């Protein structure tokens, strides 16, 4: 039972971590656009935005 539990737990934690890493910046960009807090197209935020839009 313990090996079956570990065989599902570790991959699911890895998937959850990857999802957070990729969805987090997208949520931040979407939130900034929706709130109108965008400070123009400059800096690292712009680079992140363009790199995410290129896909």
Total number of domains constituting the chain = 1
Task: Find the domain containing 46 and state its range.
Answer: 23-55
pTM greater than 0.75 = no
Q: Which residue has the tokens 């992140």?
A: 48
Q: In which band, very low, low, confident or very high, does the pLDDT at 55 lie, cut at 50, 70 and 90?
A: low
Q: Say what the pLDDT of residue 42 is.
A: 59
Residue 55 lies in a domain: yes
Residue 53 lies in a domain: yes
Residue 14 lies in a domain: no
Residue 30 lies in a domain: yes
pLDDT for 43-52, tens place per residue? 677 777 778 8
Residue 5 lies in a domain: no
Instruction: Round to whole Å and give the CA distance between 48 and 43.
Output: 9
pLDDT for 18-44, tens place per residue? 988 888 878 877 777 777 655 555 567
Residue 15 lies in a domain: no
Contact 52, 29 (CB under 8 A): yes
Residue 9 lies in a domain: no
Tell me the average pLDDT of the chain: 77
Residue 18 lies in a domain: no
SS3 assignment for the chain? CHHHHHHHHHHHHHHHHHHHHHHHHHHHHHHHHHHCCCCCCCHHHHHHHHHHHHC
């Amino acid at each position: 039972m313990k090996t079956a539990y570990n065989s599902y737990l570790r991959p699911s934690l890895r998937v959850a971590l990857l999802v957070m890493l990729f969805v987090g910046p997208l949520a931040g960009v979407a939130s900034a656009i929706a709130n109108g807090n965008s400070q123009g197209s400059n800096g690292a935020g712009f680079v992140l935005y363009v790199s995410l839009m290129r896909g």
